[in-house]
């Protein structure tokens, strides 16, 4: 699928895209009291961009500039914007490593004025 085709409620989504932005990880506490690390990324293909939250070990796998393949994901909506998630059954895999691009925020076109995407607990 392409990013412009993604709508909230879509499931079993397979997507290939480039990581164009990655925020620093932060710790959150779930409603069950469990502490988890989460980092937001922005994915881009030739049709657009979409937010994604990475959890736990997935955070360190992915860097700005990497091409990732996402399998069996779903799309939800957070604060009115679509967001892709792997959930329990999906997976994200790096299929092309970045070539020396800096880790962290990148591409000035993604200015920082937007609210970060968060999972609901």
Q: Are 64 and 104 in contact (CB under 8 A)?
A: yes
What's the confidence (pLDDT) of residue 88? 87
Ramachandran bin of 104, using left for φ above 0, alpha for ψ from -120 to 50, beta for the remaining angles: left
What's the confidence (pLDDT) of residue 69? 97
The model's pTM is 0.78
What's the confidence (pLDDT) of residue 118? 52
What's the confidence (pLDDT) of residue 40? 95
Sketch the domain layout of the chain as residue ranges. Answer: 3-100
Ramachandran bin of 113, using left for φ above 0, alpha for ψ from -120 to 50, beta for the remaining angles: alpha
Q: Rounded CA gap, 25 and 59, in Å?
A: 7
What's the confidence (pLDDT) of residue 10? 95
Protein fold of 3-100: OB fold (Dihydrolipoamide Acetyltransferase, E2P) (2.40.50)
**Full pLDDT tens readout for the chain, 121 residues:** 999 999 999 999 999 999 999 999 999 998 999 999 999 999 999 999 999 999 999 999 999 999 999 999 999 998 899 999 998 899 999 999 877 544 444 444 444 444 445 555 4
Q: Provide the 3-class DSSP secondary structure of residue 30.
A: coil
Q: H helices within the chain, ranges in order?
A: 58-61
What's the confidence (pLDDT) of residue 100? 58
Distances (CA, A) of 106 to 35, 65, 91: 28, 9, 24
């Amino acid at each position: 699928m392409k990013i412009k085709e993604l709508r909230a409620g879509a499931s079993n989504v397979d997507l290939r895209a480039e990581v164009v932005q990655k925020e620093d990880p932060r710790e959150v506490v779930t409603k069950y009291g469990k502490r988890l690390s989460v980092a937001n990324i922005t994915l881009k293909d030739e049709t657009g961009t979409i937010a994604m939250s990475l959890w736990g070990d997935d955070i360190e796998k992915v860097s700005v500039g990497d091409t990732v393949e996402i399998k069996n994901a779903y799309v939800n909506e957070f604060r009115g914007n679509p967001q892709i998630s792997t959930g329990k059954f999906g997976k994200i895999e790096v299929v092309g490593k970045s070539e020396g691009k800096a880790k962290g925020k990148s591409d000035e076109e993604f200015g920082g004025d937007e609210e970060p995407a968060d999972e609901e607990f």
